[in-house]
Amino acid sequence: MNPKFPENFLWGGALAANQVEGAWNADGKGMSVADVAMYRSKVSVDDYKGHLEISKALIENAMQDDDIKKYPKRRGVNFYEYYKEDLALFAEMGFKVLRISIAWTRLFPTGEETEPNVAGVKYYRDLLTEMKRLHIEPIVTLSHYEMPLALSMKYNGWVARKVMDHFVRFCKVCFNAYKDLVKYWLTFNEIDSIDRHPFITAGIIPELCDGGNEEQAIYQALHHQFVASALVTKDCHEMIPGSQVGCMLTKLTTYPNTCNPLDVEATLKKNLHNYFYADVQIFGEYPVMIEKWFERKGIQIVMAPEDKAILKENTVDYLSFSYYMSLTESVDPELEKASGNTIMGVKNPYLPSSEWGWQIDPLGIKISLIELYDRYKKPMIIVENGVGAKDVVEADGSIHDPYRIKYFSAHFKQMKAAIDEGVELFGYTSWGPIDIISAGTSQMSKRYGFIYVDQDDDGDGTLKRSRKDSFYWYKKVIESNGADLD
């Protein structure tokens, strides 16, 4: 078999505006839900129930609090000013592609303006133009955990159908402004995460939910996101001929903890629920089993008469997903739990764990690819994958991270094995290629990058960028198109 990946395979990295840019109130930008995310040194089991200590009063206090140490996403790693330097480093590695997101509040500070903020439109124009100059293909995420805070406070986020109109307007501005620079688009980052952290994903505040029924609010908001995604997909295809619009799934690969049929059934249902979010955007309809689940839960989705047709007629072109770890499922409530990407599961005794308790499973990425391609038969790209770790800067300034190289090498080999078995995988973007603020804990010490950023959890440091050993290793992987993985 050919040791290389397919010709023109898109190697690169992935970033989110709210975790890298900083400049949270510069040049007319408004506050987003990310700007009230507080620093936490760890994530507890209770945090994964989705509330993350969110309340209207807490948000109002955060809006008045200017202590930047409490809210690290406000400072990011100053990609807003450093983007040319950072893009040059990505180009040095040989990046073919870079996934970014556009902060809605840079263009529409409250989300309700009728005309965009000129400075915000110009910033992303400059960023994308520099990427084009460096021959780095952009993949642009339109909503990546950074919706306008004003829409959350006023409407309880995506629970209100009115928010759809504001989002569609924002997206049309993006398509019109950057149609000559962007071919690949993603609508919502990890849209399935809405039932794990509804505030971060959809601006939902529990106390603002009618009758306190947060679960009803979550799935009503999700429906609005589904319809908005379909409308935006239609607009993109019409406004940018040849454009490609994808959906994104958090691939929460889950195995039965035992061969007990009860564990197998619980796992089946958990995986089917995970697939549901991509099913709607790829097949254009709600799965029957999810509709029955809604009935049992007493969840009633209010739909406009045209919604089903909109979903059916405007499906996505490709599937993207994040993969960090696998989990197991059991009906035994006493088994030890393990953390993961915005979720908890039963610990797998056959797998090692990262410093943050995420279980490392390279074979799981192959299993995920085969499962997804068999189900959807759509071109795929992995848009998040990586391992968070604490890095040490040596006296001579070097950063040795063999653990990161080991992680990526093992996963890349399994990706190639899936391709050899027939999976249509056209690209891969690591999370994140430069050290950034953690999505879940807002830590800086949980580092993912090939590039070290001199900043600690309190925001102290010079922001100097330094190449880690993995920087040179990934450069060789890209140069050899995956043939050099050892």
Mean pLDDT of all residues belonging to the chain: 94
Asked if pLDDT for residue 45 goes beyond 60, the answer is no
Asked if pLDDT for residue 341 goes beyond 60, the answer is no
Asked if pLDDT for residue 357 goes beyond 90, the answer is no
Give mean pLDDT, residues 77-90. 98
Residue 49's pLDDT band, with cuts at 50, 70 and 90, is very low
For 132, the enclosing helix (H) or strand (E) is: helix 118-133
Check: CB of residue 228 under 8 Å from CB of residue 374.
no
Give mean pLDDT, residues 321-328. 95
Asked if pLDDT for residue 417 goes beyond 60, the answer is yes
Residue 182's pLDDT band, with cuts at 50, 70 and 90, is very high
Give mean pLDDT, residues 171-190. 98
Percentage of residues in the chain with pLDDT exceeding 70?
A: 95
Helix (H, G, I), strand (E, B) or coil at 459: coil
- Name the least confident of 58-62, 124-128, 248-252, 463-467: 58-62
Residue 47's pLDDT band, with cuts at 50, 70 and 90, is very low
pLDDT at 42: 55
Distance CA 358, CA 388 (A): 9
**Of residues 129, 17, 97, 92, the one with CA closest to residue 381:** 97
Total-model pTM:
0.94
- For residue 206, give every residue at least 6 positions away whose Cβ sits within 8 Å of its Cβ, in sequence order, or none: 51, 54, 55, 198, 212, 214
Residue 343's pLDDT band, with cuts at 50, 70 and 90, is low
pLDDT at 345: 76
Q: Which residues are catalytic?
A: 190, 384
Give mean pLDDT, residues 322-339. 86
- Give the pLDDT confidence of 376-414 residue by residue, as tens digits: 999 999 999 999 999 999 999 999 999 999 999 999 999
Distance CA 197, CA 177 (A): 31
Distance CA 448, CA 443 (A): 11
- Give the pLDDT confidence of 216-241 residue by residue, as tens digits: 999 999 999 999 999 999 999 999 99
- For residue 33, give every residue at least 6 positions away whose Cβ sits within 8 Å of its Cβ, in sequence order, or none: 145, 146, 147, 148, 149, 152, 157, 199, 200, 203
